[in-house]
Amino acid sequence: MILPPPVYRDFVLPALRDWRKAGRKTALLTLISTTGQSPRPVGSQLAVCDTGEACGLITGGCAEGTLVLDALEAMRLGENRVELYGEGSRFKDITLPCGSGLKVFFDVGISDAEIERIIASRDARQPASMSIFAPGEPAYTRHYLPACRLVAVGQGPIMEALAQMALPLEIELDIWSPDVALAARLNGRHLTSPEDFDAALDRYSAVTTVFHDHTYEPPVLLKTLQSESFFIGALGSRKAHARRLEILTELGAAPETVTRIHGPVGLDIAAASPPEIALSILAQVVERWRRTVAA
């Protein structure tokens, strides 16, 4: 499956690492404070290469061109700096539509070891942090969580749609399917039996089953209920979901535990087609992620 490159990345350090390995100069820009209504949260980052390429977002798009130019100047001078944009800024010709003021730290000296340390922690599904000491500013700590992971177990076109939509959301998709062709096509795992499901689940993982034949679900859901997964969902009607909970309880799951399962999975957007259902599932996963794990 060939997909276009994502238009946005929140985790920009891999881009910074790759540019450095290619021998390019780089700058890492971090939003360290705001006044008023900001389009992006404090901690948002933009990685810039000396070719003018950039990855990430700090202002929502209205001042990224200026940020890149200022990053190129910082690289040329070889010095870190802090700049204020918008309200209270010395740049009178740069105004932000939201009326906010954004203070941005330009770091042209971050070490390769620091970049690799954070990437390695994230790859190992461990949180990490970066201490930022900007000139004349209070120390700031930028925290990094492991990527949100969605383990999708099932078959059919909804699985295909999930694979297409998860990438721009920076959701790691782990596909498990009894359909050998689908598993291969989506770089997933062929599930020969539901009892063989053994995905690595942590508190940064969400799980959803995507079956129309619900007889495949119980072993998968029973294992999932024993995990720290922040979200568990299951496809099917309300009637099918009620029966699902009965079966799981009969198989030994505690009644208070099975209520963790969201069914029918997905936000209620009156979804009808496979892409719409996939959209509703991902929207619900993002909602739970933002309101709990990443709050």
Question: Beta partners for 107?
Answer: 28
pLDDT of residue 1: 44
Residue 4 pLDDT greater than 60, yes or no = no
pLDDT of residue 89: 56
% of the chain beyond a pLDDT of 90: 81
Dihedral (C-alpha) 114, 116, 118, 119: value to the nearest 10 degrees?
160
State the sign of the Cα–Cα–Cα–Cα dihedral 248, 175, 125, 144: negative
The SS3 call for residue 263 is: coil
DSSP string of 7-75, one letter each residue = S--S--HHHHHHHHHTT--EEEEEEEEEES--SS-TT-EEEEETTS-EEE-SSSSSSHHHHHHHHHHHH
Strands (E), the chain: 26-35, 45-49, 54-56, 81-86, 101-107, 128-132, 140-144, 149-154, 172-177, 189-190, 205-210, 231-234, 261-262
Separation of alpha carbons 230 and 25, rounded Å: 39
Burial environment of residue 112 by CB neighbours within 10 A (0 to 12, 13 to 18, 19 or more): exposed
pLDDT of residue 97: 60
Separation of alpha carbons 225 and 171, rounded Å: 21
Q: What's the pTM value of the predicted model, to 2 decimals?
A: 0.90
First-last CA distance in the chain: 33
- Domains of the chain with bracketed CATH: 13-144 (no CATH), 149-293 (3.40.50.720)
Cα-to-chain-centroid distance, residue 188: 19
Structure confidence by residue, pLDDT tens digits, 30-71: 999 988 777 889 999 999 999 999 999 998 777 888 899 999
pLDDT of residue 37: 77
Structure confidence by residue, pLDDT tens digits, 234-272: 999 999 999 999 999 999 999 999 999 999 999 999 999
Best CA proximity match to 266, nearest among 247, 286, 246, 248? 286
